[in-house]
Amino acid sequence: MSFLERIEERPGAAELRAASYRLLGLKRGATCVDVACGAGHAVAELARKGLKVTGIDADPDAVEAARDRVPGAMFHVAHSDDLPLETGSMDGYRAMRLFHLLEDPAPTIAEAHRVLRPGGRIVVGGQDYGFVMITSSDQDLTDVIRLGLESHTVSPRAVRDLRDALLDAKFHDVEVVVHTDVITDHKQLAPQLKAAATAAVDQALITKEDADTWLTEQSTRSRRDRFLAAIPTILVAATA
């Protein structure tokens, strides 16, 4: 849960959530479901906008934390491909940072289409780990280590296919927006950098010496105020 909290409270997270709300374009009183709601940050903000929000997550601990954050909202523990919602009951559907966890997005997208009324709005998205940029004096080594970062997820490049998935599911007026987080604070990414380098070693992509050298360089860059990373989040919106 602390990880989910950190994600939603890091610099730029509130701006990204706000961008997803603008793409939804829902008016007060509209119904909306937030799938993979995590600790409920988006549910709370959408409820304050006057929407009737339902939060859904497969993790019971996340749902418990979300209920504490938004006592007046409805929550369910459920998987994204089997929602406890009536057909055509939602004006809006939102799911962020979900699709990199799924082997196949099609059942989840089909379920989204089912619960949305005709003309309802969907916004889905997340990070594409194949587009992560980290500056280094050895960019080839960095690209290999980035593969280690990708290895921590089931479908690290899934979001680049969401436009196709929505069109295949008969959504229309599909719009794609890219929101990029620019990070110059090494501490913000240090755990992920170490995990990526370790994974690259474990997969025999690089040696431990390569990993240690690279991590040392990133720390040195931080001390010299030369650390830079860019992480794009892709938002895809459409109408049912």
The structure's pTM equals 0.91
| Count of all residues that appear for the chain in the document | 240
Q: Please name the residues in contact with 106: beta carbons below 8 A apart, sequence gap of 6 or more.
A: 165, 168, 169
CB-based burial, 28-50: b 16+ in 10 Å, e otherwise: eebbbbbbbbbbbbbbbbbbeee
Lookup: tokens for 96: 């962020």
Q: CA-CA distance, 58 to 131, in Å (whole number)?
A: 27
Contact 201, 208 (CB under 8 A): yes
Distance CA 37, CA 83 (A): 13
- In this model, does residue 7 exceed pLDDT 70? no
Decide: helix, strand or coil at residue 78. Answer: coil
Query: Does residue 13 surpass a pLDDT of 60?
Result: yes
Structural domains in the chain, CATH included, are 2-239 (3.40.50.150)
Angle at 122 between CA 232 and CA 108, to 5 degrees: 85
Q: Identify which has the larger pLDDT, 115 or 150.
A: 115
- Count of CB atoms within 10 A of residue 3's CB? 9
Render pLDDT for 80-122 as a digit per residue (tens, 0 to 9): 999 999 999 999 999 999 999 999 999 999 999 999 999 999 9
For residue 1, the model assigns a pLDDT of: 46
Question: Would you place residue 148 in the very low, low, confident or very high pLDDT band (cuts 50, 70, 90)?
Answer: confident
Distance CA 45, CA 192 (A): 28
Percent of the chain with pLDDT over 90: 85
